[in-house]
Structure 1
Amino acid sequence: MAGKLAVVFGGSGFLGRNVVRELARRGWRVRVAVRRPHLAQFLRPMGAVGQIQLTQCNIRHKGSVREALRGADAVVNLVGLLFQSGKQAFDSVQSTGAANIASLAAEAGIQNFIHLSAIGADPESDSLYAQSKGEGERAVRSSIPSAKIIRPSVIFGVEDEFFNRFATLASYSPVLPLIGGGKTKFQPVYVDDVADAVCEALVRKDAEGRTFEVGGPRVYTFRELMELMVSETGQNRILAPVPFPIASLIGLFGEVAGKLPFVEPPLTRDQVKLLKRDNIVSIDAEVGTLNDLGVEPQSVESVLPTYMVRYRRYGQFSETTA
C-alpha cells in the first residue's frame, strides 16, 4: 500500500496508536485526525520521516472532517467513548460523529472505510452506549454500503482500560466488586490483533460490506478474569458479588463524581446495563471473525503477565516473576 493515504480518526487512543503503528509498518501514509494534535506528537516516530501526519479535527464539525479527508484513499474511524462527559456525549460522538465522517467520505468518493463499533451494538438497546454504537453502524452503512464494520469484545493490552483499572483498584482496596455476581461472559481480544484486523480489512475485497465480531481464543466470566488478574499481580483480594440494583446505585454516585474536573467515574449506570449481557462473538454465520481476516488471536494468559508485573509488590524482582 506504499503511497496510499489512510486517514485515522481517533488515532491517539489506546487502539488508535496501535492501528497507526501497524498501518505505517505496512507502508501506508497515515493522517491522524485528532482534537488536540499537540498531545499526539508521540505518534510521529512510529513511521518514517513524514509518513505520519497530524491534523486538527473535531468530528462534530463537518468543516474540519472535510479538510481531514482531503486526498484520502481510505478512512478508519476509531472514535469512541467509555463514558459521557460534557460535550463528549454518546450520541454526538458515536452516532452523529460517525454519520458525519461516513457521509463526507462518501461525498469525497472514498469507499474503503473501516468503522469500529462494539459487540452488542443495537439501536434499540436500553444502554445509551450500545444504542449510539448501533446508530453509528446504521449511518455508516447508509452512506457507504461497502464499509467494513468491526465489533470487538473487551480489548486488552499494555495501556488498556480494563485490567489496568482493576489492578489499580486492587492496589489500594482489599475488595474487588463482581457486578451481578461476576457471571457476565467476555471474550477479551489483544489490541495488536484488533489492529491487524483493521489493516487486513482495508485490503481484502472479500471484507467489503461485512461486519466482523472479533474476540480472543477463549470465553471467560468476569469472575474468572478478576481471578486471573489478581493471580498475576500477587494481590490476595476478596471478590465480592454486587447485585445489579446496588451496582446501579453505585453507578449513580459514579456519575455524580464524574462531573468533577479531571475525575473519571469508576462506574456508571449505563455500564451496569451493559454488564447484564454477555460480550462474546456471535455464532451468526453472516458475521465474520478474526479467522476470516487471517488473524490468529493471542490469549490473555500469554500477554497479561507482560504488563501486570508492575502491580506486583517488588515488580520485576518479585518471587512470582523469578
Structure 2
Amino acid sequence: MRRCCAWREKTFTDHLGKKQGSYSSVNKEGHVESISMKVFLTGATGFVGSHLLQRLLHDGHHIRALVRDPQNSNLPTGPNIELVGGDIVEGTGLDEAMQSCEAVIHLVGIIMETRTATFEKIHHLGTRNVVESARRNHISRFVQMSALGARANGVSEYQTSKWKGEEAVRQSGIPFCILRPSLIFGPRDGFVSQMLDVMRKAPLLRPVPGNGRPKFRPIFIGDVTACFAQALTNPAATNKSIDLGGGEELTLNQVLAGIAECAGVRKPAVHIPMPLMFAGAALAQTLLPRPPVTVGQLRMLQEGSTCDVLPMMEIFSIKPLGFRIGLRTCLGSGAAPNSAATSSDFKG
C-alpha cells in the first residue's frame, strides 16, 4: 500500500454519466498517484458485491474474493482478481485467504433465514470470524456493510444481528468504516423485480401493505458502490458508522407507485391491512421453507428506513441519484443523467 502525505479528490464517472468522488494520493513531489490496494472481498457474488467488484477493478484495486466454490462462481477473471474458497461461519480458510491483503470489505448477509443459515450465524458469528482473521493478518482497513435500523433492540432479529456484527467490527481495534444503507435498488436487484412481479400478477388491483405511509430513502446501487470504494481510503470515513440514503425521502405508497409508473403497470392501489399481512406471514413461515415474506420483514416495513443523508454527502462528496432516474436504469428504459424526480411525481 502506498503511503501518502495528503489526499486529493478526483472524479469517477459511472455508467449514468454521474461524477462520483474517489481519492488519490499526493506524493512528496506533489504528483498525484492513484492508490491501488489488495482488497479481501466477501459477498462478491451477491447483488451489491457484483456491482462493487466491477467498481473496485475499475479503480485499479487487486481483489481477492471469497466464494464457496472458486470453480463455479460466475465471477469475472483477470490479472487483478483472485477467487479463494472459505467459510465465514466455520472460519475455515480465512487466515490463508487474507494473507498479504491490506483491506477487507465484508458484504456477506442474508435477508431470510434458513435452517442452517441464521441471522446470528451469518451477521454476527460470521462477521466475528472475518474480524478475527483480519486482526491476525494485520489488516489496515475494515469496511463493513450493515443496514439502516441496525440496533441492539431492533424490531427484528435481522436488525439485532446486524448490530452485533457492527459491534464486533467496532471493538476490533482495526481502523473501520461501517456503512448502513437504506433500501438498495438497481440493475439485478431483488426488491424492484419482486414488487413488479407482485404487481403484474395481482388481478385488477395493485396491493400495498398497510397504509403505505412508512418512509424510505431508496438508494441507487451506483451510489452505494461509490461510498464503499471511497470508504477504503477516505480518511474522513475512518472509524465512523455512516447511514446511506438516496436523494429523496418517499413513502411506501410513493415507492410502489413509482415502480408501477416506470414499468407501465396501470392498476389502482389497494391497501392490505397489516394484521392480515402478519397472519399470512406467520402461517407461511410455519408451512413453507422459504416464505414470500416474514413477520420480521413486515415489522421493518412498518418502521420504514430513512435517514439524514448530509453526513454521507459531506464525507463522500456524493449527490445521490433521484429515484425515477435509478428506476429507469433498473428497468432498462434509460434516463438522462440530469433528470430530476421529486416525491410529488409519485402519487399513491
In the superposition, the TM-score normalised over structure 1's length comes to 0.88
Question: Is the CA contact 2:104–2:142 (under 8 Å) kept in the aligned structure 1?
Answer: yes
- The answer to whether 1:17 aligns with 2:50 is yes
Give the superposition deviation at 1:93.
0.3
> 1:95-244 maps to which residues of 2 (within 5 A)?
95-144=124-173, 146-174=175-203, 175-244=205-274
Partners of 1:105 and 1:42 in 2: how far apart?
Answer: 23
* Alignment partner of 2:315 out of 289, 292, 302: 292
Deviation for aligned residue 1:223: 0.7
The answer to whether residue 32 in structure 2 is matched with residue 6 in structure 1 is no
CA distance in 2, matches of 1:3, 1:293: 18
Aligned residue for 2:223, secondary structure, equals helix
CA distance in 2 between partners of 1:65 and 1:225 (Å): 40
The answer on 1:265 being equivalent to 2:291 is yes
Letter in 1 for 2:243: E
Which sections of structure 1, spanning at least 5 residues, go unmatched? 311-322
Task: Assess if the C-alpha contact under 8 Å between 2:142 and 2:174 holds in 1.
Answer: no
Q: Describe the superposition over 1:127-168 as per-residue Cα deviations: whole angstroms up to 9, x where unpaired.
A: 100000111101111113521000000000011111111111
Q: CA deviation at 1:270?
A: 0.7
Distance 1:290 1:87, change over 3 A: farther
More helix by share: 1
Structure 2, gaps ≥5 residues long: 1-33, 334-348
Question: Residue type matched to 1:227 in 2?
Answer: A
CA distance in 1, matches of 2:329, 2:129: 39
Q: Which runs of 4+ in 1 moved over 3 A?
A: none
The 5-angstrom pairing of residues 24-35 of structure 1 reads 24-35=57-68
Q: Paired residue for 1:245?
A: 275
Q: Name the residue aligned to 1:274.
A: 300
* Matching residue of 1:318: none
Judge conservation of contact 1:17–1:43 (CA < 8 Å) in 2.
no
Moved more, 170-179 or 118-127: 170-179
Aligned alpha-carbon RMSD (Å): 1.8
Q: CA deviation at 1:91?
A: 0.4
CA contact (8 A) 1:157 1:191 kept: yes
In 2, Cα distance between equivalents of 1:89 and 1:237: 37
- Deviation string, structure 1 residues 229-280 (Cα, Å, up to 9, x no partner): 1111111223222222221112123324541xxxx42210010111121201
Q: CA offsets, 1:271-322, max 9 Å, x none?
A: 0111121201148x8xx31431122211111121233358xxxxxxxxxxxx
By how many angstroms is 1:2 displaced?
5.7
1:313 alignment partner in structure 2 = none
- In 2, Cα distance between the equivalents of 1:27 and 1:129? 34
| TM-score, with length taken from structure 2 | 0.81
Higher mean alpha-carbon deviation, 96-105 vs 173-182, is at: 173-182
Match of 1:315 in 2: none
Change (3 A) 1:206 1:72: same
Structure 2 CA distance for aligned equivalents of residues 38 and 225 of structure 1: 39
Q: 1:209 Cα deviation (Å)? A: 0.3
- Any conservation in 1 of the 2:181–2:219 contact (CA below 8 Å)? yes
If each structure's strand is expressed as a fraction of its own residues, which one has the higher value? Answer: 2
